Homo-oligomer: A and B are copies of this chain.
Amino acid sequence: MAANSQFAVAIHVLTILAKGGDERVKSDYIAGSVNTNPVVIRRLLSNLQEANIVVSQVGASGGTSLAKQPKDIRLSEVYKALPCGEVFALHAKEPNQDCPIGKNMAAFLCGLQKEIDKSIEEKLSQYTLRDVIEKIESA
C-alpha cells in the first residue's frame, strides 16, 4: 500500500460532505462509506481544513462540513492541500559527486518536477467538486 491514495479518498470524502449539505458529518460515518478507519479520515480532513476546504467542529454533535460551495472547490486546491508526493522522486542516494553529470542533475530534475506539477495543477483546476458530483450522478 505504498502508493498514495489520499487524493482519491479526499474526492470521495468531499462528495459525501457535499451530499450532507450543511449537516456536520462524522468521521465514523465517512470511514464506513470509504471503508477505512476513522482516524485515516480525520487525518485527511485535518489537511483539508488547513486549506479552508472543510470546517470541522469538535465535541458532541461535532463533525465536518464543506467550507464553501462545491462549485467553488477546485480539484487543484484539493491536490495542493494534501501531502501527496511528486510525480517522480529524485535519486534515492546522492549520485557520486565525482561524476560531472550527477552534479547538475538534481537541479535540472527539480525544475522539471516543478513544471510537471504545474501542468497537473492546471489540469485539475479545470474541474470543481460540482463537476465531479455531476459526472458521478450521471453515470
Residues in A lying within 8 Å of B, measured CB to CB:
1-9, 11-12, 15-16, 19, 32-36, 75, 84-96, 99, 101-102, 104-105, 107-109, 112, 115-116, 119-120, 122-124, 127, 132, 135-137, 139
B89 and A3 within 8 A (CB) = yes
B119 and A88 within 8 A (CB) = no
What is the oligomeric copy number?
A: 2
B139 and A107 within 8 A (CB) = yes
6 closest Cβ pairs, A-B complex: A3-B89, A7-B88, A33-B99, A5-B89, A104-B139, A2-B2
Knowing A35-B93, A88-B84, A96-B34, say if A8 contacts B105 (CB, 8 Å).
yes
Q: With both chains docked as a complex, state the minimum distance between the C-beta of A8 and any C-beta of chain B, in angstroms.
A: 5
B3 and A91 within 8 A (CB) = no
- Complex CA gap A120/B101 in Å reads 25
- For A82, the closest partner residue in chain B by CB is B88
Please give, as numbers and ranges, the residues of chain B lying within 8 Å of A86 by CB-CB distance: 3
